[in-house]
Chain A
Amino acid sequence: MGTTTKAIAGNEVLQQEMDKSKSRGFLKRTWPLHIMLLPAVILQFIFVYVPLGGLVIAFQDYKPYDGIFHSKWVGLEHFKFMFDYPDIKQVITNTALIAGLKIICGIIVPFVFALLLNEVSFNPFKRTVQTLVYLPYFISWVFLGGILNDMLASDGIINSVLHNWFGVKESILFLGDGNWFRFVVVLSDVWQQFGYGTIVYLAALAGVNPALYEAAEVDGATRWKQTWHVTIPSLLPIVIVVGTLALGNILNAGFDQIFNLYNPLVYSKGDIIDTFVYRTGILNGQYSLATAVGIFKSLIGFVLIIVGYKLAQKYADYKIF
């Protein structure tokens, strides 16, 4: 009881202090910073928060010529339609599976690669490799899709190699067989993205305190032990940040990529929410439905980020915010 009172009293004192500092020196000292922040806040407000109002069309039977204000209200009709859609289970499963695999591989591969690259002491080589693996990140999927389509064709370079060097008789339909399709999608995505992740981890590696390594060396730790006990623990926070933020993308399996690679043969294994929305919402002009699905996706992503963050806080004692 006594401590509580004290705490409250303490809080009050603190509050008063803060109020004082605010009214006197704080704003006086910091107003240029607030002014500098203002344009960003305004932009954010206009281009991010105001358009959120458009979400109401998910609950309307939106007709462009009637506009937001005159379209008919239909409540949760579009959400109902989405969940009644016969293939919705398959589409969500595909999405979560492909996105999940992408997230997991997208963390592990650049992490390991950064560790390996970090061990290279010849700097020009390190920089060159770093740049080279980063390059695919900038190529659009329209273009990459064309290249992959050619490479993976039944008479393409991959099948030729398999045929000539490994004696594979039947050419493999990489993009015409559902299971191969998922594999290709995840692999090519990791290939495109891992250079970016590598840079993040390399930056984190550069920030590890050298004193830790010196101490470990004094204690007689081998290179491997140093990695295990110093490097990896130091990188863990950044892995958690990246992982937590990536959780929000669990329902984004990569529209550009799938759209440029898929075909009717792999619908059952490769059709994802975004391609489904493209065909239903955009091609058939069902803007309300497209918006409803978007809300659903954001909601799931939001919940996952919060849960992921809470877990990270609880088990890794890590705070982002």
Chain B
Amino acid sequence: MHNSMKKLMLVSLTGVLAASLAACGSNNNTNGNKPSNDPAATSSGNAAATNNAGTDNAGSGADETGWDGKKYVEPITLTTVKGVGTNYFFKTGETMENNVLQKYMKDNLGIDVKYDWVVTDTNDAYKTKLRLMLSSGEKMPDVITYRGDMETVNMLIDSGQFMSVNELFDKYAGDEYKKAAALNPDTFLPVTRDGEKMALPVLDYAYNDDMVLWLRQDWMDKLGLQAPKTVADLEAIMDAFTNKDPDGNGKPDTFGMALGFKNGFLNWMTDVSWLFGAYGTMPGQWNKAADGTLSFGSVDPAAKQALSTLKTWMDKGWISKDSGLKDDTSGSEFFTKGQAGAIVGRNWLPDWPFGDLINNVPGAKYKAYPIPAGPDGKIGSQSGNPSVNGWMLINKKAAHPEALLRYYNFFFDNWANPQKGSEFENGFAEGYDWAKLPDGTITKDPQKYPDLFPNYADRTHLVEPIYYSLTFEGARQPALYADTMIKLYNGEAPTTPYEEQTKAVRKPENLEAMKIVMDQKDIRMKNYFQGPLTETMKSKNELLNKLVNESYSKIIYGQAPLDSFDTMVENWKKSGGDQVTKEVNDWYASASK
């Protein structure tokens, strides 16, 4: 749970990063073509513009919910609660309850979002307040949107106050949302209870969590090394990195690969799970065995082989002696400090943390490579789970449960991938997250052009109204990210604003890495268990994880013999592992019905 929250945060962080990079990038990116015939006065900053729905006859053509196809004829109210993230910035005088996006949605869709309460979301304040609300039996708002640990979502579902969305989704979700949710068949699995979907997913870009192998290309070139196809090839490279002084300072201060397994062996960066994948299992998650049942990867016999390999790596000095004391992030510093020549992580590492590498080692070069294969030709890497980064629950008593879907549909249709010349081509609202210079260029720099961005409270940050939306970032089309990257990698010219932005922001190494991810997407081993913590997990997870992590670390460090793996597995089974396995399989049987 903990890890998946980290992942989510990271995904959203990258989003922020990409957005802010985009903001920097597009200053120089002369986006010459004026939005051709932009009718209404968007320059008023009020974005009450382009109300095409105005032509419709009020009253006629509205369905039973009062929706005429574009808006609610009679504006409806949708209550919710909100944790205001640290990436939310407001203009002077605007708040969560009263801002440009709120007004826009009210004027154009007839959806008036009201907040029962708003809290600044630091130190999990939003989560705490939600849980307090549950425990004190307060009245729940129409909609709760939550991004964070699954446990809170499960608590909300278990409270029994929220409705099944099966029918709602079928009836009201737009094509774009349906298509996006269908990209991965497991999207609804985590919130499905007895066949009822209990929450709507907030979707994020897919394939963004997949692993590639990053190598220091300047070292590879210097030592004349070839791309690794197998683990054995990689070992030869690591040996050269360790013993042939690739940084040329005459000191034995380099080594093969950056690892950090303090918190486990399935990490979002500085990952080592792929090595287990090379032997056919994936630690820390539930894999499907040959007989169709689910089994825990960490106690699979194949893991023993991977551990034996890791021990060799440590003995030979190919990985740091401190690897077991580092977590995902601090372990990556081995690479960014210029000590280690390899790291396994996601396609966007060039954005972060590789910037540190360039700062620490001027002239350093890196390049992505496919995950290498094991001795039997097996390749396996983590992820492959749905890219959901939040959940939305709808109150059973909500007067307009379908309004949330219409809200989300709107952003899928108009925001997720806007066409040139469309309303949201440059951003949400002029004078907020974009402005037009006299020569027609679009700027996103409130510091340089204070007149074009009036009423800013803090000019160091771009005010991005899209974050005020109920659905966090408006909407994201999961396939868009990877598709765009591949398109750009193939040298095609960007056509949509999203593609132009991506081209301006993404480094070539990043595009190449995404290409590798897509070429290798069949190697992904998904975690088949997507349900809430089972009873035994709640009481025994800690003990079981401790058993695994302690035993793994000790074996790699040579503080325990390799065969202690078998003792650990026996212990794991006795201490509740067998029971957990049974419960997981029961869940799988019920969920995959």
Interface residues of A (CB under 8 A from B): 63-68, 81, 85-87, 149, 153-155, 171, 173, 175-176, 263-265, 267-268, 271, 276, 279-280, 283-286, 289
Contact = CB atoms under 8 A, between A and B. Distances in A.
Interface in B519-544: 533, 537-539, 541-543
A54 to B, nearest CB: 11
A176 B557 contact: yes
B325 A176 contact: yes
A255 B159 CA distance: 33
Contacts of A173: 321-322, 557
A67 B136 CA distance: 6
8 contacts: A63-B155, A65-B135, A153-B325, A264-B324, A264-B554, A267-B550, A283-B1, A284-B542
A194 B18 CA distance: 47
Q: Is the interface of B mostly helix, strand, loop or mixed?
A: helix
B322 A153 contact: yes
A64 B155 CA distance: 8
Nearest to A280: B542
Contact of A65 (B1, B134, B262, B537): B134
Q: Is the interface of A mostly helix, strand, loop or mixed?
A: loop
A239 to B, nearest CB: 37
B158 interface: yes
A87 B553 CA distance: 18
A288 to B, nearest CB: 11
Given A154-B322, A286-B538, A286-B539, A65 B546 contact: no
B324 A284 contact: no
Contacts of B550: 264-265, 267-268
Nearest to A268: B550
Contacts of A64: 131, 134-135, 155
How many chain B residues sit at the interface, stated as a range, is: 35 or more
A299 B325 CA distance: 34
B549 interface: yes
B324 A67 contact: no
Contacts of B324: 176, 263-265
A149 B333 CA distance: 13
B538 A176 contact: no
A66 B159 CA distance: 8
Nearest to B553: A264
Contacts of A86: 543, 575
B155 A87 contact: no
Contacts of A87: 543, 546
Interface in B1-37: 1-2
Interface in B252-274: 253, 262
Contact of B543 (A85, A268, A289): A85
A218 B269 CA distance: 73
Contacts of B542: 276, 279-280, 283-284
Contact of B155 (A65, A263, A280, A286): A65
Contacts of B136: 67
Q: Which of B131, B156, B533, B550 has the most CB of A within 10 A?
A: B550
Interface in B493-542: 533, 537-539, 541-542
